[in-house]
Amino acid sequence: MTEEMNKDQDVTENMAAENQEKPVSEIETLKAQVEQLKDQLLRTVADSENVRKRMERQSEDMAKYAVSNFAKDLINVSENIHRALSSVTAENLENQFLKSLYDGVEMTRKELLNVFEKNKIMMIAPNIGDCFDHNIHQAVAHVDNADLKSGQISGVMQNGYMIHDRLLRPAMVAVVK
């Protein structure tokens, strides 16, 4: 009987040990699952925040640059107005009708330039002697010039334009060889 009691006691102790191990291993498993779920949650929150920020940037860019094509067309209009005003001679301005017409076109040009400024459209007007910058200039000619160094602008054929921080049209320049 003592032997049976010892066997029963051993079985009971083994069962107790298994039961103690089981809850500990279940707790460890559950803790690991909780950590995994926390990690997944943090990653999901970070991903959604990144998507929100990207959408916000895209929306801002869309608002800034949506008028780029329209602005390019207006730049051509502005330059045609400038060329028209530049072609008027002092003799033409003696005629009162032509003077009034000139003044009206000049006011239109100024208003257009105000609209450009309001919409962050800036002219790139390089000067002779400036260093060539491939980011905002386009070399349309390479010339020899003893007065300037290689890589300097020797002539400007057409001004360039930017909208905010993007190039609409590069300035067309001649560059010293």
Q: What is the DSSP string of 55-113?
A: HHHHHHHHHHHTTHHHHHHHHHHHHHHHHHHHT--TTGGGSHHHHHHHHHHHHHHHHHH
Do both 74 and 24 map to the same domain?
Answer: no
What per-residue confidence (pLDDT) applies to 26? 86
Give the pLDDT score at 20: 56
Domain boundary among 66, 82, 103: 66
At residue 109, the pLDDT reads 95
Q: Count of domains in the chain?
A: 3
By C-alpha distance, which of 167, 164, 162 is closest to 60?
164
Q: What is the pLDDT at residue 62? A: 84
Residues 55 and 14 in one domain: yes
Angle between helix 68-86 and 96-118 (nearest 10): 150
Do 62 and 74 lie in a common domain? no
Model pLDDT, residue 67: 85
**Are 75 and 16 found together in one domain?**
no
Q: In the prediction, which pLDDT does 60 show? A: 86
Look up the domain containing 132 and give its range. Answer: 121-177
Chunked into runs of 10 residues, the chain (177 residues) has average pLDDT values of: 57 54 78 93 94 92 84 92 92 93 96 94 95 96 92 95 94 95
This prediction has a pTM of 0.65
Give CA–CA dist 42/70, Å, rounded: 44
